[in-house]
Amino acid sequence: QSALTQPASVSGSPGQSITISCTGTSSDVGGYDYVSWYQQHPGKAPKLMIYDVSNRPSGVSNRFSGSKSGNTASLTISGLQAEDEADYYCTSYTSSFSYVFGTGTKVTVL
Amino acid sequence: QVQLVESGGGVVQPGRSLRLSCAASGISFSNYAMHWVRQAPGKGLEWVSVISYDGNIKNYADSVKGRFTISRDNSKNTLYLQMNSLRPEDTAVYFCARDHSGGGCDYWGQGTLVTVSS
Residues B22 and B78: beta-carbon distance below 8 Å: yes
Name which of B45, B51, B112 to mutate to probe chain A: the one with the most chain A Cβ atoms within 10 A of its Cβ. Answer: B45
Residues in chain B closer than 8 A to A54 (CB atoms):
none
Structure confidence at residue A97 (pLDDT): 87
- Within 13 Å of residue B9, how many CA atoms lie on the same side as its CB? 18
Residue type present at position A89:
Y
Q: Per the CB < 8 Å rule, is A98 touching B108?
A: no
Give the length of chain B: 118
What pLDDT, in 10s, does the model give residues A42-77?
A: 999 999 999 999 999 999 999 999 999 999 999 999
What pLDDT, in 10s, does the model give residues B58-77?
A: 999 999 999 999 999 999 99
Structure confidence at residue A79 (pLDDT): 97
Residues in chain A closer than 8 A to B93 (CB atoms):
none
In this complex, which of A48, A89, A96 lies closest to B44 when CB atoms are compared?
A: A89
Q: Per the CB < 8 Å rule, is A34 touching B102?
A: yes
Structure confidence at residue A1 (pLDDT): 77
Residues in chain B closer than 8 A to A98 (CB atoms):
47, 50, 59, 61
In this predicted model, which residue has the larger pLDDT, A84 or B27? Answer: A84
Total CB pairs under 8 A between chain A and B:
80
User: What is the C-alpha separation between B97 and B104, in angstroms, rounded?
Assistant: 9
Whether the predicted pLDDT of A95 surpasses 90:
no
Q: Per the CB < 8 Å rule, is B50 touching A99?
A: yes
What pLDDT, in 10s, does the model give residues A7-52?
A: 999 999 999 999 999 999 999 999 999 999 999 999 999 999 999 9
Residues of chain B short of pLDDT 50, as ranges, are none
Q: Terminus-to-terminus CA distance in chain B, angstroms?
A: 39
Residues A23 and A92: beta-carbon distance below 8 Å: no
User: What is the C-alpha separation between B53 and B27, in angstroms, rounded?
Assistant: 14
Query: Which stretches of B1-117 are assigned E, i.e. beta strand?
Result: 3-7, 10-12, 18-25, 34-39, 45-51, 58-60, 68-73, 78-83, 92-101, 104-108, 112-116
